[in-house]
Amino acid sequence: MKRSIYVAVFIAGVIGAAGQQQIPNGDFEQWTAYPGSGSYKDYEEPSSGWTSGNGVIHVAAGSNAVLEKTTDRVSGDYAAKCITQRIFGQIASGSLYTGKFQLNLGNPALSAKRGIPFADRPTAFVGSFKYLPQGSDSATMYAILSRWDGTKRVRIAEARSYQYQPTPEWTPFNLAFVYESSDQPDTISVVFASSAGGEFFRGDVGSTLFVDNVSLSYDPTSVDQMKEEVPSVVWNSATSTLNTDPSISIDHIDVVSVEGACVASIVPTSPATPITVPFNGVYLIIAHEGRRMITKTIAVTR
């Protein structure tokens, strides 16, 4: 019963005056403190549905938080600061996401339970960021709209970006949602990570991603009207290659797991690009042509 009441109140709290839902506490002004004891450090997280991997430091003595409150902000009093650390001898990406953290020591990658209730169809995911990578690290920020169909979670739309270069000044981002169906979502997963490969324990300690003023944009123009006709992108499962129209110039191709992790980023050298992933499963292919993204869902079996 308490869970039902919480969900109802939560949804009511994020519906705007015009009936368009927003990401709660997207300006990161409200934070909740989680005190440690002894060699287990204190940490804070944004309130209202946000969490991070910080929970692990209460079982890892002396470890530093992967998310901090900072006064280095665009507006208001605070922003969020994701910092890649080393915990239990492994890379722990700086992280911030909507959902909850339930530590799974047997399989730490399953500790993140992403998503909060959401039932609208925004056109873009916007906000501001700064990125200070270490080594050759990269960051990611994305929002996924999805729906539970009774047996599995089905992605409806996604807005995503990767950051490969240092961005030392506050910079706005505006990421269009790419819709895959006309279904109504029931969940939104918003994720920021200072190391895009952190879910596979890859990254560089000290990479730092700042974020502030995160929100959703709505446009009266329908998503269908906004879609472009794009050249075909064909997956050849027999040869494990992605074949793109030779008339377009693909800058790079990102391969993303259903959990939202970037498992590969490839610069193609020909229209037939070999795709290698660590495990069988379903992946989202994002082919970047300048500012345009061409997406393709593939199933990998061996």
**Across 240-253, average pLDDT:** 81
pLDDT per position as a tens digit, 266-284: 888 888 888 887 777 777 7
Output the six-digit token pair for 94: 């700086």
3-state secondary structure of 112: strand
What does the pLDDT read at residue 227? 37
Q: How far apart are CA 271 and CA 233, in angstroms?
A: 10
AA letter at 200: F
pLDDT of residue 257: 67
Residue 82: per-residue pLDDT = 97
CATH fold label, 228-300: Immunoglobulin-like (2.60.40)
| Cα 58 to Cα 281: distance, rounded to the nearest angstrom | 33
The domains of the chain are located at: 2-220, 228-300
Q: Residue 4: how many CA atoms within 13 Å on its side-chain side? A: 1
pLDDT class of 84 with cuts at 50, 70, 90: very high
* CATH 2.60.120.890 matches 2-220: yes
pLDDT the model gives residue 140: 95
Q: 2-220 and 228-300 share one CATH topology? A: no
Residues 6+ apart with CB under 8 A from 279: 300
Q: In percent, how much of the chain has pLDDT > 90?
A: 41
Share of the chain above pLDDT 70, in %: 81
pLDDT at 189 over 90: yes
Q: What is the pLDDT of residues 127-168, one digit of tens each?
A: 999 999 999 999 999 999 999 888 888 999 999 999 999 999
**Cα 114 from Cα 13, distance rounded (Å):** 19
